[in-house]
Chain A
Amino acid sequence: ILNVEQSPQSLHVQEGDSTNFTCSFPSSNFYALHWYRWETAKSPEALFVMTLNGDEKKKGRISATLNTKEGYSYLYIKGSQPEDSATYLCAYNTDKLIFGTGTRLQVFP
């Protein structure tokens, strides 16, 4: 059974703080790793798809790194804002997506 783990489960930060969280996945037979943002009452939205070891992707204040050899990816948010409050999901791509349970981020003004 493929296991995708995310930590921490939840995170509370003050506006302006930078934060990061982790996704761990099987390091063998790697194809791609996805990050999604899921705001309450909205659709999950794709942030990044990462395929190469050492990949770094950036979208505004959000960035992600990938280490396929050790099986982890980090998501960073610089200068968190209340609108960043959401659940961040990673998904390991085999023939289908295997999702982690997510990190729930709350940013307080």
Chain B
Amino acid sequence: SAVISQKPSRDICQRGTSLTIQCQVDSQVTMMFWYRQQPGQSLTLIATANQGSEATYESGFVIDKFPISRPNLTFSTLTVSNMSPEDSSIYLCSVRTGTGANVLTFGAGSRLTVL
């Protein structure tokens, strides 16, 4: 299955700033998925990033807050804009493994703490 490199692994950010998370896959994939896990909550899908088109956002998530880039088939970025303490979460990117039934391979995550 694919190997995903994600960075930063963790960061401490100031309120009102923005941070971009990068995700690099070692093979070409059509779709990349961005998830968030807030403390005590479940892993929640933010958006699906397709190469060559705008990302598809889930209910409750908007492009202005979480702009996504997908410049090629192996790379994507997620920006968390104008951060507040409520954005303190683990953010993960993932891709389908190709073994069927939506099985996902994940990056190791980016743990953001917003002060």
Is B101 a contact partner of A49 (Cβ separation < 8 A)?
yes
Is B42 a contact partner of A34 (Cβ separation < 8 A)?
no
Q: Which of B40, B45, B92, B103 contacts A46 (CB 8 A)?
A: B103
Task: State the CA gap A93–B102 with chains docked (Å).
Answer: 7
Task: State the CA gap A45–B43 with chains docked (Å).
Answer: 14
* Interface residues as binary, B101-115 with A (CB distance below 8 Å gives 1, 0 otherwise): 111111111000000
B17 at the A/B interface (Cβ < 8 Å)?
no
B27 at the A/B interface (Cβ < 8 Å)?
no
The verdict on A102 contacting B97 (CB below 8 Å), with A41-B108, A44-B106 known, is no
Task: Kindly identify, within residues 47 to 88 of chain B, every residue whose CB is under 8 Å from any CB belonging to chain A.
Answer: none
Chain A interface residue count, Cβ-Cβ cutoff 8 angstroms: 22
Chain A residues closer than 8 Å to B41, beta-carbon distance: 101
Chain B residues closer than 8 Å to A41, beta-carbon distance: 9, 108
B20 at the A/B interface (Cβ < 8 Å)?
no
Give B41 Cβ to nearest chain A Cβ, in Å. Answer: 6
Interface residues of B (CB under 8 A from A): 4, 9, 40-45, 92, 97, 99-109
List 14 A-B pairs, Cβ < 8 Å. A34-B102, A34-B103, A43-B92, A43-B107, A43-B109, A44-B106, A45-B106, A46-B105, A49-B101, A91-B43, A93-B101, A96-B45, A99-B44, A101-B40
Interface residues of A (CB under 8 A from B): 4, 31-32, 34, 41-46, 49, 51, 89, 91, 93, 96-102
